[in-house]
């Protein structure tokens, strides 16, 4: 029975208890919940009721990529997921996505999701983009990140081949990793929404929008040549 490790980076987030509650209530039970406290000074007490159900790691503040890599290093699962401490997995998320991974012999998959507000109320239609073919996927990904990081499931062999998150990227470490994976593995998509993504005033994507745009451009430039070659190769097949 495959084990799934779920890494939860935590830094001063008041919603951490909601995130952990969603993980302990997963319908698939062979999971490993790894919470990485990235130097938090607030809300750590909200983790206390879950201590007997999680692996709890404390470290100095190093950013999300650093926390994720710490969790990945500790993980013993065959597959890995990531849940931000302000988001929520649907109960069937792990079970449904793992079923697809095994059925399709997939190494990387992502799902649709909903946005929710501070109170957990859904405020969006289903969000999820899966281009119609490989060529369109390459085009979409080089234009921007179409994948919510907390919707992914990744086979551990991917990290062994590709490496982990780039800790020099403060905001776009996920986008950089997806592009590296895309150059080596096929992407698979679960159209069912399995994640609730919280929109709130303190979220990083709102507070650092300008910096994210600059860093995003840097990531695109970093991968432009290889992605262009993938596009050319795909065009030749048609």
pLDDT tens sequence across 202-220 = 766 666 788 999 999 999 9
User: b/e string for 28-41 if b means 16 or more Cβ within 10 A?
Assistant: beebbbbbbbbebe
Number of domains in the chain: 1
Residues of the chain below pLDDT 50: none
Domain span at 230: 4-237
d(CA 187, CA 179) in angstroms, rounded, equals: 11
- Give the CATH number, domain containing residue 221: 3.90.550.10
Res 119: pLDDT: 93
Cβ count within 10 A of residue 130? 17
Question: What digits encode the pLDDT tens for the residues 17-26?
Answer: 999 999 999 9
- What are the tokens at 161? 């081949």
- 3-state class percentages of the chain: helix first, strand second, coil last, to nearest 5: 45, 20, 35
Res 234: pLDDT: 86
Res 204: pLDDT: 60
């Amino acid at each position: 029975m495959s084990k799934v490790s779920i890494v939860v980076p935590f830094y001063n987030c008041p919603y951490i208890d909601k995130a952990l509650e969603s993980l302990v209530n997963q319908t698939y039970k062979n999971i490993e919940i790894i919470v990485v406290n990235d130097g938090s000074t607030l809300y750590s007490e909200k983790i206390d009721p879950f201590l007997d159900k999680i692996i709890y790691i404390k470290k100095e503040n190093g950013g999300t990529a650093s926390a994720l890599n710490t969790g990945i290093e500790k993980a013993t699962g065959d597959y890995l997921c990531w849940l931000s401490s302000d988001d929520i997995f649907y109960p069937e998320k792990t079970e449904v996505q793992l079923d697809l991974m095994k059925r399709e012999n997939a190494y990387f998959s992502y799902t649709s999701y909903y946005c929710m507000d501070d109170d957990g109320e859904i405020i969006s239609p289903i969000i999820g983009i899966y281009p119609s073919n490989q060529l369109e996927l390459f085009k979409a990904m080089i234009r921007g990140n179409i994948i919510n990081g907390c919707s992914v499931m990744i086979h551990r062999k991917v990290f062994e081949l590709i490496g982990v998150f780039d800790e020099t990227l403060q905001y776009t470490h996920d986008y950089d990793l997806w592009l590296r994976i895309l150059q080596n593995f096929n992407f698979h998509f679960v159209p069912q929404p399995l994640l609730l993504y919280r929109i709130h005033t303190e979220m990083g994507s709102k507070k650092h929008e300008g910096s994210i745009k600059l860093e995003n451009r840097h990531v695109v430039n970093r991968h432009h040549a290889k992605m262009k070659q993938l596009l050319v190769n795909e065009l030749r097949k048609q």
